[in-house]
Amino acid sequence: MSIAIDAKGVDYRQLNELVRNCLSQGERHIIIKNVRGQRYLGAGLTAGDLLLEVEGVPGEDLAFCMGGPTVIVHGHGQNAIANTMDSGTVVVHGLGGDALAYGMRGGSLFIRDSVGYRVGIHMKEYRDMRPGVVIGGTAGDFLGEYMAGGTLIVLNRHNEREGVCGQADKTLATGIHGGEIYLFNYDVPGFLPGTGARLLPPDKADTGRVRSLVEKYCLYFGFDPKPLLERELVKIIPADSRPFHKFYCPAYPVNS
Amino acid sequence: MCGIAGLISLNRIRENGQRIKKAIVLQTERGNGLGAGYGAYGIYPGYESLYAIHIMAASEEAMERAALFIRRWFKVQKQEPIPVWDKIIRDHPYFQRFFVEPAALSQHCPGGRENEDDDVLEKMMLMNKEVCGAYAFSNGKDMGVFKGVGTPQEIYDFFMLDHYEGYSWLAHNRFPTNTPGWWGGAHPFNALDWSIVHNGEVSSYGINRRYLEGHGYVCHLQTDSEVIAYLFDLLVRRHGLGIADAANALAPPYWASVERMENHGQQERLRLLKIIYEQAMLNGPFAVLAAFSGGMFSLTDNTKLRPMTTASQDGYTYFASELSALYEMREDLQQIVTPRAGEPVVALFHEPAASGKGVAV
């Protein structure tokens, strides 16, 4: 059983109130129709068994601080999707904007097509909480900046030759000190990786985590994972476990 | 965090402000009610060859002083109040518009400049400096800016923009941060046929302003975005740069990217632009939408710190800060184009206007 809400012309505060009311009445499959730019959908919701379907283009901060639900967007997404998200799944059948997965702490985000700038900044992990992000197309500058955990995959589904993960010098994974970034079928130019990022030579997708995330991506969007996974991929990890320990003046006698 | 919307009919098909209003009202959350505005091109048929000067004044006396100033320098073909619906906003300035011929053309005033455009712009800057309490905020041909303190819906209703038909429209929803929210400080900013709306801040305002002052532009409107309109006027109209070159001058790639370029012709051109126009370069986060007599284009800063999305379909190009707003202008958009940093999205009319000058891309 599902319940539908018509969002046409409804203010985002009222719309989120409607969703929360449905949730408190026991609804676990909510379809929001005619969404156009309403912000904060799914924000702060914690029901692990909730399926929230969004028809249209949701506004900024979709699934902000969400912990548990599955959100499926039948349309493009805007900026700051999965901001500080805790757990759950977000699936976007289209484009993503800027600053996705900012400070994301767990759960997974699947974007079918390309995304904008500053995706995956400050993603982090703790014990068994490991966020996973799969981008079907390409990404802009500052991908995975200050990344501290989790897995960020740029699938480059159309095998683009340039601009796959930004274009400006030293913006890719700048200041990364945890987690890992995978880039499929792309010869990363030497000027792209930022300070603290270490590029490993091309390899095949042998790790279970990449395979499992890409397979899930393909399941959601109806692609065949085999040819996608057969392509080479490069991995970016932090240069070492504390890449910036010499960067700061030892004002306090730590570990001395 | 301002909001931007724009639409342009490449075949110059006129429409009223309904569609652009929907697109900017959807982005109401991006402003705070302290400024909104619209720019429309092609709205004064029958007056295409005259400069349409829009004046706001704090009092009837100030408007009288402005009218005297305009009559001293120009031949006024028509003067009328800009109709407003003051039940929407009760506390507002006085608005009038003047359709004028420049002095040099009309022989009304000996000593007028050779170049009409320069003459009009110079007099407008002089007026904003000398006429106390009145501002000329729009002075192009066959176009007009309508702006003030209010939400996008309020400003639309206040100026009754249902009653204007234009073939390209700009809209802005303001969230003033560094500069005051007042009627003259709302967007769009205009210089002759250039109008710009801007989301972000111009951190290089001081340098840009001094550079412009060296070329005769005076900034009076207390808002950093003002310099962008003057820079386009200087670079494109006066210096004759194409839009791609102007975009590269204002939002150039980094030196490192330029030095790496394999196309040496393009590399040399970028070097020259970066050196010659160093003081025109816009620093800081910005997304700009600029309209002029030849079309419309968007530009973002070279690290893409402000959003811009676009779509083109069936002879129209649409621009908006938020993707959802594009669909307010057309429901069945097939393809969305989100430009990368510093990359302009240019939409030019298929046929230049009869009075318009060609601009290179």
Q: Which residues contact B130 (CB under 8 A, 6 or more apart)?
A: B69
Residue A249 has what pLDDT?
Answer: 64
B173 contact A CB<8A: no
Residue A250 has what pLDDT?
Answer: 61
B173 with B28: CB under 8 angstroms?
A: yes
- Mean pLDDT value of segment A32-48: 97
ipTM score assigned to the predicted complex: 0.94
User: Residue B195's pLDDT band (boundaries 50, 70, 90)?
Assistant: very high
Query: For chain B, what is the mean pLDDT?
Result: 93
* B2 is a catalytic site residue: yes
The model's pLDDT over B200-222, given as tens digits with 9 standing for 90+, comes to 999 999 999 999 999 999 998 88
- Mean pLDDT value of segment B144-156: 98
Q: What are phi and psi of B19, to 5 degrees?
A: -70, -40
Q: Do A191 and B340 touch (CB under 8 A)?
A: no
Long-range contacts of B88-91 (CB under 8 A, 24+ apart): B88/B150, B88/B154, B88/B157, B88/B158, B89/B148, B89/B149, B89/B150, B89/B154, B89/B155, B89/B158
pLDDT at A251 over 70: no
Residue A185 has what pLDDT?
Answer: 95
Q: Which residues contact A43 (CB under 8 A, 6 or more apart)?
A: A16, A61, A62, A63, A64, A65, A66
pLDDT at A54 over 70: yes
**Rounded (5°) CA angle B171-B175-B179:** 110
Q: pTM for this structure?
A: 0.95
Q: Which chain A positions have a beta carbon within 8 Å of B260's beta carbon?
A: 191
Residue B150 has what pLDDT?
Answer: 97
Q: Which chain A positions have a beta carbon within 8 Å of B323's beta carbon?
A: 57, 76, 78, 95, 97
What's the token pair of residue A131?
Answer: 């966020």
Residue B355 has what pLDDT?
Answer: 53
Residue B105 has what pLDDT?
Answer: 53
A36 contact B CB<8A: yes
Burial class (CB in 10 A: 0-12, 13-18, 19+), B334: exposed
Query: For chain A, what is the mean pLDDT?
Result: 94
User: Residue A135's pLDDT band (boundaries 50, 70, 90)?
Assistant: very high
Question: Distance (Å, rounded) from C-alpha A109 to C-alpha A192?
Answer: 24
The CA distance from A86 to the nearest CA of chain B, in Å, is 25
Pick from A13, A32, A34, A76 the residue to mutate for testing the B interface (most B CBs within 10 Å). A76
User: Residue A245's pLDDT band (boundaries 50, 70, 90)?
Assistant: confident
pLDDT at A253 over 80: no
- Mean pLDDT value of segment B72-101: 96
DSSP 8-state class, residue B233? I
Q: Do A36 and B328 touch (CB under 8 A)?
A: yes
DSSP run (H or E) holding B353: none
Residues 56-85, chain B, touching A (beta carbon < 8 A): none
B259 contact A CB<8A: no
pLDDT at A255 over 70: no
pLDDT at A13 over 80: yes
User: Residue A141's pLDDT band (boundaries 50, 70, 90)?
Assistant: very high
B257 contact A CB<8A: yes
The CA distance from A41 to the nearest CA of chain B, in Å, is 14
The model's pLDDT over B50-63, given as tens digits with 9 standing for 90+, comes to 999 999 999 999 99
User: Residue A36's pLDDT band (boundaries 50, 70, 90)?
Assistant: very high
- Mean pLDDT value of segment B273-300: 97
A56 with A35: CB under 8 angstroms?
A: yes
Pick from B309, B324, B329 the residue to mutate for testing the A interface (most A CBs within 10 Å). B324
- Nearest C-alpha in B relative to A166: B340
- Mean pLDDT value of segment A227-242: 91
B355 contact A CB<8A: no
